[in-house]
Each structure stands twice: as structure tokens, then as C-alpha cells.
Chain A
Amino acid sequence: MGNQNDVILEMKNISRSFPGVKALNQVNLEIKKGEVLALVGENGAGKSTLMKVLAGVYSRDEGEIIYQGKSVSYHNPLEAKEDGIIIIFQELNLVSELTVAENIFLGTMPTKRFGIIDRKKIKEEARRALNELECDYDENAIVGSLSLARQQMVEIARALVHRANIVILDEPTASLTGHDKEILFRNIRRLKEQGTAIVYISHKMEEIFEISDRITVLRDGEKTGTLVTAETNRNEVTQKMIGRDLDEFYEKASTKFGEEVLRVENLTRKDEFSDISFSIRKGEVLGLYGLVGAGRSEVAETIFGIRPSSSGKIYINGQEKRILNSRSAVSLGIGFVPESRKEQGLVLGMSCKENQSLANIRYLQKFGFIQEREVSRSFQEYQDKLSISCAGPGQPVVNLSGGNQQKIVIAKWLSVNPAILILDEPTRGIDVGSKAEIHKLIARMAEAGMAILVISSEMPEIMGISHRILTIHQGSISGEFSGEEITESNLIHAITNLSVDAC
């Protein structure tokens, strides 16, 4: 495990403010050689900001960084990289049009005369790094053609080639499947054995306990403690994270179901999913559980008319309907809270009120003219109901926290009172407090008679809120569970019953 006392980097009393927010307040951090340090905290706790201060993306208001005994301050990630500190951002830093080898050497390509790239050297070194990471794919492959996990491995190969002393991984598993995660972890351990220090930013408890040696917890821009992983437990970490004990309590809606609202029969979309059949009743919460890429979102988007289906039938209230586009889906009483809030859920340039009213505005018009007073009243109503905290109806939605943004998306649909509401990863990337509120909201909506389809990759969530769970694996339904059958092992088995693609 290397020499545990060998501190390679120390951040002392780091503070950083953004307009209106103190993002970091007197934070101290120690990174030791050859360890995996988990940096945990809720969204907005300052994890990423702290690392961006280290890498020079942000400047610091006060504090000192001591690296290998010297005081340093970087102005951009490049300077940090040259010093052996590599940060791998959540959004991958790759050029999808270039090859794997070119990406590994991006910005630092060795050249011969006249700026001509030494291709042989690039390929050889890239190959060596990939071999070390047990990646068997071609170094000449175009990055854009690789899976997300493989792309991430390219970034890690980059760290390897540049002989990084410290590698910072910002939520690396956010979009990885189980198997890819294993490969990532194996490679993290390998780097660690070579003496590289790894900072692992995450909020997923299982992962932190699986991979880390020590855990540093941040809350609201302050460090609340550093724990040795082997000597602590989840409760202690969560307690430090949110300042109270987390009662993992999910509210399930009462099980009084009405008649069937939505029935899907043999829904198929070429190359994506096939023969999907299920039905939802009034007041029921149906969970759709599966790995990323199993076809969950695709099914939901097909029902909502975003993607055309190849074959299959959709019945709404017992009548067969053809859903040609999202407009007809909405007219039939379907609402959709999409997976990516910023890209699919909101128009970021618009205000809270405009976003909230975008779906129901067609009902708040007279002769085509918007009844602004009605719109404001409606916004007020949902702001109170969902306790959305924003400075005012005109505040740009861009400035809201993830939780409040998600509430606006949900409020947008509540205002048209759909019979069926589909929620795709409704709590991804939002803080624990808002998460619980959204779970409660889902239960309340179901009790009010909505039929709800929830997609999630978080097992506790899907188990906690659904009455019934469908598992989906490689585009087809692999199991259906309700009541007592809903257990962790049943679900895991159902979503992974076949081999998963290798790295």
C-alpha cells in the first residue's frame, strides 16, 4: 500500500468565492503517495471546485498549495499537467475525431523536424499504455467510435503516459455500466500500486467504500472530516456529508390502483429494443430498471413520440393510439421528465416562469395571445406547492440548483395534469434533500391518480418508490417483480443475466 505517511500534496486553508456563494471556506486537504483518496459531498459541496482550484481552472482567494515540498499555483490545467497532476473531468476531454493515440498525446505531440509528428513514437507509447491498462482496442481507432468507458480509459492512458503523480477523477462512473466500472477500478488499483495518488470524487457510497483508502468529506464548502475507510461506515460518512443521519426512507404511494391507463404491446424499435409489453394503472408507480444503454430511455422516448417505433401498439385508456410526435403524446395526456435536465428538460436561456409554463401555455391563451396574468398565477401556485426556491418568476433558470431546476421541469408537467407521467432518472445529480422531496412528490402524484413510469439506475430509489418493477436487459424485458419479489438480488440477476461487453 505504499508509505502512508508520504504526503505528496497539501492544500492549506483554501477559500474561493463566487458571486453570492462562498464555494470553499478554509479547506485543508492532504494527498498521500499511492493512495486513493475519496472526496465526497453533496452536489454543490465544493468537491469539483476544490479540484479545479488545484488544477488551476479557478484561482483561489486565499490559501496555499504545497506540492512535493514546494509552494505552487497553477494558472491552467496544462501547467498542472506538466507538473504531473492530471484532472479527468466529468465531461470527457477528448477530441472524438482524432485517434486514440493522438488524443493521448494531444497538446504534447513529439515532433521531428518542421513540426512533423513522430507518429511511430506516439503509436508505440500509446500501445504500451493501453497494454498496461489491459485495453485490447486499436490505438489507431477514432475515439468517437469507442464506447464511453473506453473513452474514459483513453484519458487514463493519457495520465499514464505523462507519468502523473496525482490523478483526479471527477465522478468517473456517472455513465459507466457495472462491468466497465470494474475495469476502471482495476486500473485505479494498478496506478495506485505504481505509487500514483488518486483523488476520487463521487457521491456513490458503494464505490467509495470499494476503492478508497481515506475519505475526505466536504459540506457547504467546508471540510467536515477525513476518515480512514477501513475504520468507518456509511452512516458516519453520510452524517458528515449532510450533517444529520440519513434515514433512507422512501415514501411509497398507497396501493389503490384504478383502471389501466397505458398499455404497450410488443413495442419494437430496430437495433434498440424489441417486444416490450407492459401496462400501468391509475395511481401505480411502475419502475423500469436496467443498466445504462439497456434501452430504458429509448423505450420511454418511443412512447412519448420522440422516436418512431418499428412495430408494436400503444393503448391509452384501452384505445389504440398512434403517437407520431411528442405533441400528440402530450395531447393524449402523457408527460415526460427527461434524463438530461439541461439538454432536454429546460430552455436554459428562459426564466423560471417561462420554463414552467411552456407546456400549459397553450391552454392559457386567448386568440393566440398569452394571458400573462394566468401564467404568473399558475407559476405562483406550483412554486408554493413544490416549494421551488428562486429569486422570482423572472430569474433565469440557469442560476438555480439542480434540485430546483428539476422541480421546475416537474411543475411544467403538473400544470397540464397528465394522465401518465414518465420520469427518466428524476433525481440524477441533485442533492439529498431535493431527492427526498421529489420522491415524496412522485408518491403524491400517484395518489392523485396519475400513472407513473420511473426509470432509474439507482437501485435503492427504484426499489423504494415503485409498486412494480420491470427489468430491461439488452433491449428486452428480462423480468417483472412486485411486492415481496422486489429484492436486490432478483433485480441484479435480471439486469445482468447475460455477459456484458468487455473493455
Chain B
Amino acid sequence: MENFFSKERLKNLLLQQGLIMAFVLLIIVISLSSDRFLTTDNIIFVFRQVSVIGIIALGMTYVLISGNIDLSVGSLVSLTAVVVVDLHDKIGPGPAIGVGLLIGLVVGALNGAFVGFLKMNPLIVTLGGLTALQGLTLIYTGGTYSVIADPDSTWYAFLGRGFIFGVPAPVIIFIVLAVILSIILTRTVYGRYVFAVGGNWKSSRFTGIRDNLMICSVFIICSLMAAIGGIVLGSRLMAAQNYVGQGYELRVIAAVVLGGTSLMGGSGSIFKTVIGALILGFIANGLIMLGYPYYVQWVVTWIIIIGAVWLDVLSKRKILWTWP
């Protein structure tokens, strides 16, 4: 048995678990300066804050593991939120949510077909999707605001505002989805195939895996998650403005990357993504508790992302440093 506290061990821990260490450090520092920070109420508050970003990040994790990227999620959040809120009073909450999910399904299938079957560059396809969906949203509303007339009498409000045993509903949705998607990713054949396709789609194809179908499916999962995010967001706000999801794509990707899922594909985990989203949430919350304006979190996030990725690069260089 080696010395538990050997230098080598410590170094590896720092390199490999750098993110968790940073997370713990961050929480300690902030909780020292603000006694409200580590209260149950505040922690639940943070979870609730990150739940929408977190839900979308779960789907994005699948896309990144498969070696792709999806920039259209922010616009999709806007579109579903606007459509669901608008249809709520017209066709009722149930059908409105159904339409929202359907939009997610269709957008995901389109993105997936372009990238998976036509082998088009995912960055540009979804960049085009980002612009086009934002345009669609504006066309749909004609530039106006959608509001739900009577927020107090609809069960739809529960999704964003309700509580179960004191835990906010969006948090429950986030955690349940995280657990399900995590199990699918790590325990099922489908999940294994997603990793295989992300690691090497040619080899996957030569093994009889339908790589194009796999890629198509992860885009559908991602868009469905974005649609759910939009639905929850609409419920929390009980109104939706045209640009409500603008910039979400980058915050979501930041959360996933911060968690340590590689942009190159073939590796990553849902657990890491949840951690990444929470870090973003705690930074935001902590800084506000310390009395800084909300935008200071962006600067701190910048520093933390670069730091985390740099550590990751350093540790990879060491691990992958193999015999040629």
C-alpha cells in the first residue's frame, strides 16, 4: 500500500478531479463570506435556477459525446416557450405541451437528418437552425408578447412553480431526467453505441452500428430536452417573450464543457454535466450573495472554464502520453 498522501497521488487527484476541487473550494470561499449561502433554502434556490439550463445540458451531453454540437437549442427554447404559452389559453395546457414536444421532435429530427444522414457540419447546420428558429418565433408572434391570462388556475403553472415535499418541480424534473438519461448512457446498448459513434463513427459503422441513426437520435434527444426546458421556462414565467432563450446554447455548452465532457466526442457523463451546471449556478448565486452585480459571474465563469479545461488538457497529455 502506497502512502495515501503521496505527492504523486495528490498531483493526480488535482489533475483528474480538478473540477470537483475547484467546486469545493468555491463553495468554501463563498460560504465563509456569506452565511446565507449554504442554507437549504439557498441551495434549493440555486438548483431551481439551474434547472432549465441543466435539463438542456443533459441533451447537449449526448450530442457532444456523439462528437457533434447543437447551437439551435436557445432558439428552440424561445420557440417552444412562445408557442406553448400562446396555445395554452387557446387549446388547453395538455395539447399545448404536446405541440411543444412535437416541435422539439421535428427540429431534432431535422438537425439529426442533416448531420447524421447527410453528413453536414453540425456547427453550421445548427447555426442556421439558430437563426431560422429565431425567425420562426418572431413570425409566429408577430413580435408581440405571449402571456397566460390566468396563471393561478392552470395546472401548467405547477411545472415551473410547484413544489413536491418542498422541492421545486423544475428541480424534480431535472433530477429525474438526469437519472434516466444517465442510466441510458451508462447501462444500455444504446448508450454504448453513442459513445462508440462519438469515439469513431467509421469503426462503429464497420461494426454494424447505424451511426447515422445514432447521430440523428441524439439530436432528437437534445431538441426534446430543449423543448422541455422551454415548457418549464414558460410555466415559470407564465409568459414568453421572443428572445427568452437567446444565448442559452452557449450557457448550456459552457455547463457541459465545464463538467468535463470533451468537444471531441467519445467521452463524457451526465453526472459531470450536472456538476458543471451546478458550478455555473453556484458562481452566479454566490457572487450575487457577495453583493456583486449579476454580470460579474460571466467574468468569473470565463476564468473558471479556461482553468478547468487547461487542467484537463494537462492531465490528458499525461494520461495519453503513450508509446508511439
Chain B residues, Cβ within 8 Å of A330: 207-208
Chain B residues, Cβ within 8 Å of A347: 195-196, 199-200, 203-204, 266
Chain B residues, Cβ within 8 Å of A49: 324
Do B323 and A369 touch (CB < 8 A)?
no
Chain A residues, Cβ within 8 Å of B204: 347, 358
Do A349 and B192 touch (CB < 8 A)?
no
Given A49-B324, A354-B192, A368-B188: A359 and B208 interface contact (C-beta under 8 Å): yes
A325 nearest CB neighbor, chain B only: B210
Q: Say yes or no: is A248 at the interface (Cβ < 8 Å to chain B).
A: no
Chain A residues, Cβ within 8 Å of B199: 347-350
Tell me the A368-407 residues at the B interface (CB within 8 Å): 368-370, 398-399
Do A361 and B192 touch (CB < 8 A)?
yes
Q: Say yes or no: is B190 at the interface (Cβ < 8 Å to chain A).
A: yes
Do B267 and A349 touch (CB < 8 A)?
yes
Q: Say yes or no: is A326 at the interface (Cβ < 8 Å to chain B).
A: yes
Contact string, B297-324, partner A, CB cutoff 8 A, digits 1/0? 0000000000000000000000011111
Given A20-B323, A370-B188, A370-B189: A344 and B195 interface contact (C-beta under 8 Å): no
Query: B266's contact among A18, A304, A306, A349, by CB below 8 Å, is which?
Result: A349
A23 to B190, CA, bound (A): 41
Do B189 and A345 touch (CB < 8 A)?
no
A325 to B324, CA, bound (A): 34
Q: Say yes or no: is A21 at the interface (Cβ < 8 Å to chain B).
A: yes
Q: Say yes or no: is B209 at the interface (Cβ < 8 Å to chain A).
A: yes
A338 to B203, CA, bound (A): 9
Do B266 and A369 touch (CB < 8 A)?
no
Query: B321's contact among A19, A327, A359, A369, by CB below 8 Å, is which?
Result: A19
Do A344 and B322 touch (CB < 8 A)?
no
Q: Say yes or no: is B295 at the interface (Cβ < 8 Å to chain A).
A: no
Do A344 and B323 touch (CB < 8 A)?
no
Chain B residues, Cβ within 8 Å of A329: 208
Tell me the B166-194 residues at the A interface (CB within 8 Å): 187-190, 192
B-side interface residues, number (CB < 8 Å): 25
Given A19-B323, A368-B190, A399-B322: A350 and B205 interface contact (C-beta under 8 Å): no
Do A23 and B206 touch (CB < 8 A)?
no
Chain B proximity of A360: nearest CB distance (Å): 10
Q: Say yes or no: is A439 at the interface (Cβ < 8 Å to chain B).
A: no
Q: Is chain A's binding surface mostly helix, strand, loop or mixed?
A: mixed
Do B208 and A343 touch (CB < 8 A)?
no
Do A358 and B207 touch (CB < 8 A)?
yes
Given A370-B187, A399-B322: A350 and B196 interface contact (C-beta under 8 Å): yes
Given A365-B188, A370-B188: A346 and B203 interface contact (C-beta under 8 Å): yes
Q: How large is the interface on A (under 10, 10 to 19, 20 to 34, 35 or more residues)?
A: 35 or more
Do B192 and A19 touch (CB < 8 A)?
no
A343 nearest CB neighbor, chain B only: B202
A324 nearest CB neighbor, chain B only: B210
Contact string, A327-358, partner B, CB cutoff 8 A, digits 1/0? 10111000010100001111111100010001
Q: Say yes or no: is A412 at the interface (Cβ < 8 Å to chain B).
A: yes
Do B266 and A327 touch (CB < 8 A)?
no
Contact string, A282-315, partner B, CB cutoff 8 A, digits 1/0? 0000000000000000000000101000000000
Do A326 and B206 touch (CB < 8 A)?
yes
Q: Which of A326, A329, A348 has the most CB of B within 10 A?
A: A326
Chain A proximity of B213: nearest CB distance (Å): 9
A306 to B199, CA, bound (A): 18
Chain A residues, Cβ within 8 Å of B203: 338, 343-347
A331 to B207, CA, bound (A): 11
Chain A residues, Cβ within 8 Å of B321: 19
Q: Say yes or no: is A362 at the interface (Cβ < 8 Å to chain B).
A: yes
Do A306 and B205 touch (CB < 8 A)?
yes
Chain A residues, Cβ within 8 Å of B323: 18-21, 23, 399
List 10 additional A-B contacts (Cβ < 8 Å) besides A345-B203, A349-B199, A368-B188.
A19-B321, A21-B323, A338-B206, A354-B196, A358-B196, A358-B209, A368-B189, A368-B190, A369-B189, A398-B320
Interfacial residues, chain A to chain B (CB-CB below 8 A) = 18-21, 23, 48-49, 304, 306, 325-327, 329-331, 336, 338, 343-350, 354, 358-359, 361-362, 365, 368-370, 398-399, 412
| A-B contacts, 21 listed (Cβ < 8 Å) | A326-B205, A326-B206, A326-B207, A326-B209, A327-B210, A331-B208, A338-B203, A344-B203, A347-B196, A347-B200, A348-B200, A349-B266, A350-B195, A350-B196, A354-B196, A359-B208, A368-B188, A368-B189, A368-B190, A370-B187, A398-B320
